[in-house]
């Protein structure tokens, strides 16, 4: 298994969960990083930004303040559907299988 790929996909899932918990306001990348550090201890701001970009390109989140020192992200309805298991997830996000 490619460990870097697995890490990226897990990070994407954790970002979606963190932003879902931050509804309806959203969260700055620093808060997202703090939430994820409980699972991935050595996560970096650059990794967070790379995956925020990925999720924004997939239209699962909205990014603002990219030109400022701290980015701000908010989950949209497509991202919420993935977190809430109401739609299938496409490859690239390590969402666990629904067990209930």
Tell me the C-alpha distance between 91 and 16, whole Å.
15
Q: What is the mean pLDDT of residues 50-59?
A: 97
The pLDDT score that the predictor gives to residue 98 is 85
Per the CB < 8 A criterion, the answer to whether 32 and 15 are in contact is yes
Q: Is 67 left (phi over 0), alpha (psi -120 to 50) or beta?
A: alpha
- Domain 3-83 grouped into CATH 1.10.3720.10: no
User: Where residue 1 falls among pLDDT bands split at 50, 70, 90?
Assistant: low
Q: Is the pLDDT of residue 36 over 80?
A: yes
Query: For residue 65, what pLDDT band results from cuts at 50, 70 and 90?
Result: confident
Instruction: Give residue limits of the domains in the chain.
Output: 3-83
pTM across the whole model: 0.93
Over range 26-49, report the average pLDDT. Answer: 95
* Radius of gyration of the chain measured on its C-alpha atoms: 13
């Amino acid at each position: 298994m490619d460990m870097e790929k697995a890490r990226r996909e897990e990070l994407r899932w954790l970002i979606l969960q963190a932003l879902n918990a931050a509804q309806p306001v959203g969260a700055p990348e620093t808060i997202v990083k703090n939430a994820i550090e409980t699972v991935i201890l050595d996560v970096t701001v650059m990794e967070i930004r790379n995956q925020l970009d990925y999720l924004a390109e997939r239209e699962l989140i909205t990014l603002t303040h990219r030109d400022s020192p701290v980015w701000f992200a908010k989950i949209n309805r497509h991202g919420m559907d993935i977190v809430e298991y109401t739609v299938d997830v496409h490859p690239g996000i390590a969402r666990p299988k629904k067990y209930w």
